[in-house]
A = this chain, B = another copy of it.
């Protein structure tokens, strides 16, 4: 009699995956930046202007992390002066389903908490 296991991934491992995900998109700025870039802001200062209130220091740090996670692509054009362009990657689209679920849940959750 074989051991029937629908999912061999242990609970601990699942929590680790979940926390990886959280790490990638958590924080005050990651999503607003992704949205801004996705909507067309590609230059550093453009993004900074789109994302209200972010400082250049934080933007710089966040963009680096998003790039490491392959959600945004940074291209340097070697003219003079060198210009830099940020775009969202195709991979970034894989976030869509998950993000949609999170928005749904959050929307519903407001009502749930408000209700007596």
Interface set of A (CB-CB < 8 Å, partner B): 9, 11, 14-22, 24-26, 31-32, 35, 39, 68-70, 91, 94-95, 97-99, 101-110, 112-113
**Do the beta carbons of A103 and B17 come within 8 Å of each other?**
yes
User: For chain A, what secondary structure do more than half of its interface residues adopt (helix, strand, loop), or is it mixed?
Assistant: helix
Chain A to chain B: the 4 pairs with minimum beta-carbon distance, closest first: A17-B106, A21-B106, A20-B106, A98-B101
Docked pose: A67 CA to B9 CA in angstroms: 28
Q: Which residues of B contact A69 (CB under 8 A)?
A: 109, 113
Known: A11-B35, A95-B105, A105-B95. A112 touches B18 (CB 8 A): no
Q: Which residues of B contact A32 (CB under 8 A)?
A: 15
